[in-house]
Amino acid sequence: MIKSNSLAIIGAQWGDEGKGKIVDFFCKYADGCVRFQGGPNAGHTVVFDDKRVIFHQLPSGLTHSHLKGYIASGCIIDLEVLKNEIEELKNLGIDIKNRIFVDYRCHLIFPFHKEIDKKREELKKGVKIGTTQKGIGPCYEDKYQRIGIRIGDLKDFSLFSEKLKQEFLRKNYLLMEIYEVPPISEKSYLNFVKENREFFLSLITDVSKEVYEELKKGKKIIFEGAQGTLLDINFGTYPYVTSSSTIAGSISGQVGIPFNFIEEVIGVCKAYTTRVGEGPFPTELTNEIGKYLQEKGKEFGATTGRKRRCGWFDCGIIRYAKRINGFEKLIITKIDILSGLNELKIANGYIYEGNEIDEFIPELAYHLEPKYLELKPFNQDFNKVKSYKDFDEEVLEFLNTIERLTGCEIWAVSIGEKREDIIFKY
Ligand code: GDP
């Protein structure tokens, strides 16, 4: 199923493309799965054997009992969320012993990061970013200010406690003076860490070295992106972006492996477009069709429960993501959600100040007028589809149009939420 030893699975839109399901599928054929950026702001849903797991920080492949899961140095960690997530897996009967590896360089999210995130967003009058309020931004800020505390610091608990107490002091000053909220006590958090310290220590390693050695041995590794290309801190629709780099090119720097170790990249995108939170969205549908997609597609954030905005498939975005990430192959998800609509459109580029533009331009995103192509709508029962040739003519026309306009080959199409609901083209 996977020819290359290292395969990166990247969101080609604004995240929530269904990467969790795709990563889980490919992990059956892999030896390891690496999360390379972000934190518990992700929510990757995996549905198997009538069970549903939402992975926030752990790599999505961990339901496969043979697989090793790595959290690389580009990630940040909320220890309370991590512990709960591991408990959830155990409750589902999934044995995680000696299967989870966390890089000692990962920075930690503390209660004050979450409080600052929340308060800051509340107080913003104009440009609300629409953050998940999980403390992601404030934690990355501390990392780049070089005042962050890393999971590896747990090895020396008295130094860790000292550093953390200092940080609580500084952040409480900020909370009280700027945000006018009561201070947070460090006591209960420190107790939690103390009680679970041995367990956390058992997970810590040098992921950069481990993954390097696995790849050297010829093991197959999946690199799992969180969020999507248009949420990348550099190449997304800034400032409505996440705090880390989500694109394929950043994998080597965030995991700590040579860049030429990434052999293959695939882009995952929905058969339509969604985005959660604020920011520009050229093909957004604020009408009944948008509502239909939102409801039928259950477009609620897996982490925050917020409604996702919905719109037509946008080839300009895929062209941009293709160029930035270097993928040639696409996996299309949620095609079943488009079934039953009375109209079907795909945006093929834009008009900007009277000129035609092929590729999405984040800087101009608010002013890009999509050029639409009308396609025949379809109404297919996807439960009956067992191979690519079973797709109705109109569905094939939709998929062929995407291939023709984006210059990407469709590798597979996801037709439902379950693990087995995926149809490969060849
Ligand atoms: P991710 O963050 O990219 O992993 O995406 P999410 O998990 O946030 O959102 C994708 C949602 O769509 C999840 O609830 C999946 O179970 C579901 N899903 C994935 N692929 C399909 C599909 O082909 N059809 C349907 N109906 N649901 C899907």
Average pLDDT over residues 340-362: 97
- Residue 415, ligand 1, Cβ within 6 A: yes
Atom 14, ligand 1: residue with shortest CA distance: 45
Mean pLDDT of 204-215: 98
Per mean pLDDT, which of 107-121, 128-142, 357-371 is the most reliable?
357-371
What is the C-alpha to C-alpha distance for residues 96 and 86, in angstroms, rounded to an integer? 8
Give pTM, 2 decimals. 0.95
> Rounded to whole angstroms, what are the CA distances from 268 to 8, 10, 232?
10, 6, 15
Q: What is the pLDDT of residues 61-112, one digit of tens each?
A: 999 999 999 999 999 999 999 999 999 999 999 999 999 999 999 999 999 9
The verdict on the CB of residue 422 being under 6 Å from ligand 1 is: no
For residues 137-151, give the mean pLDDT: 96
Q: Tell whether ligand 1 has an atom less than 6 A from the beta carbon of residue 275.
A: no
Instruction: Determine whether the shortest distance from the Cβ of 271 to ligand 1 is under 6 A.
Output: no
- pLDDT for res 50: 84
What tokens were used for 222?
């999946």
Confidence of residue 302 (pLDDT cuts 50, 70, 90): low
Q: What is the pLDDT of residue 131?
A: 73
Tokens of 129: 């970013």
Share of the chain above pLDDT 70, in %: 98
- Bridging pattern class, strands 221-224 and 32-35: parallel
Which residue of the set 31, 44, 117, 421 is catalytic? 44
Inform me whether the pLDDT recorded for 123 exceeds 80: no
CB-based contact 301:276 (threshold 8 Å): yes
Is any atom of ligand 1 closer than 6 Å to the C-beta of 94?
A: no
Q: In the structure, what pLDDT confidence band is assigned to residue 43 with cuts at 50, 70 and 90?
A: confident
Which ligand 1 atom sits nearest the alpha carbon of residue 333?
23
Q: Give the residue-averaged pLDDT of 154-175.
A: 95
The residue ranges of every structural domain in the chain are 6-102+205-265, 107-201, 269-424
**Residues 25 and 236: beta-carbon distance below 8 Å:** no
* % of the chain with per-residue pLDDT over 90: 87
Q: Flag whether pLDDT at 201 surpasses 80.
A: yes
Top-confidence residue, 126 or 71: 71
Q: Which of 16, 31, 314, 421 is catalytic?
A: 16
DSSP reduced 3-state for 354? coil
List the CATH code of the domain at 6-102+205-265.
3.40.440.10
For residue 199, report the distance from its CA to the centre of ligand 1, in Å: 32
Q: How far apart are CA 346 and CA 373, in angstroms?
A: 5
pLDDT, one tens digit per residue, over 44-73 is 888 888 888 888 999 999 999 999 999 999
**Torsional sign, CA 159, 203, 60, 96:** negative
Residue 333 in contact with ligand 1 by CB distance below 6 A = yes
CATH topology of domain 107-201: Adenylosuccinate Synthetase, subunit A; domain 2 (1.10.300)
Task: Look at ligand 1, atom 26, and give the residue with the nearest C-alpha.
Answer: 416
Position 62 scores a pLDDT of 95
Q: Which atom of ligand 1 is nearest to the CA of 414?
A: 23
pLDDT for the residue 3: 77
Lowest mean pLDDT among 15-19, 302-306, 323-327: 302-306
- Within 10 angstroms of residue 402's Cβ, the number of other Cβ atoms is 19
What ligand 1 atom has the least distance to the C-alpha of 17?
Answer: 3
pLDDT at 187: 93
CATH topology (fold) of 269-424 = Adenylosuccinate Synthetase; Chain A, domain 3 (3.90.170)
Residue, of 324 and 50, whose pLDDT is higher: 324
Question: Mutation test of ligand 1: which of 13, 19, 21 has the most ligand atoms closer than 8 Å to its C-beta?
Answer: 21
Confidence at residue 80, expressed as pLDDT on a 0 to 100 scale: 96
21 in contact with ligand 1, CB cutoff 6 A: yes
Instruction: Please spell the DSSP secondary structure of 32-63, one letter per residue.
Output: EEEE-SB-TT--EEEEETTEEEEESSS-GGGG
pLDDT in tens, 365-411: 999 999 999 999 999 999 999 999 999 999 999 999 999 999 999 99
**Is the pLDDT at 208 greater than 90, yes or no?**
yes
Query: Among the atoms of ligand 1, which is closest to the Cα of residue 226?
Result: 2
Average pLDDT value over all residues in the chain: 94
107 part of the active site:
no
